[in-house]
Amino acid sequence: MANDIFDVSMQDRVWKQQFFYNAFRALAFNRIDGDYAEFGCWSGSSFWLAHLESRRHGHNAHLWAFDSFQGLRQGRNS
């Protein structure tokens, strides 16, 4: 059981890092500037990967993370 959880977590991290690698590589290749905003950052792991890959590709954007630390409120129609 623990190995299954670890494998999923590692696969998820590898997928996320590949996503950010490709995204910031495309931004750098196309010379697209701008800031990065992440909403609902929970543990910050995706935000950290975005920072890592943005700097690796020379993308000097400001990176912003927003989180309520309480989750989202229920909508009126829920």
Reported confidence tier of residue 20, pLDDT bands at 50, 70, 90 = very high
Quick one: average pLDDT of 46-55? 95
The set of residues, in sequence order, having a beta carbon less than 8 Å from that of 35 and lying 6+ positions away, is 61, 62, 63, 64
Reported confidence tier of residue 36, pLDDT bands at 50, 70, 90 = very high
Going by the DSSP 8-state scheme, the letter that residue 73 receives in this structure is: P
Quick one: average pLDDT of 32-42? 93
Q: Would you state the pLDDT for residue 7?
A: 57
Helix 45-56 to helix 2-29 angle, to the nearest 10 degrees?
40
Give the C-alpha separation, 59 to 34, whole Å.
9
Annotated domain spans of the chain: 34-67
Give the C-alpha separation, 16 to 34, whole Å.
20
Q: Would you state the pLDDT for residue 8?
A: 60
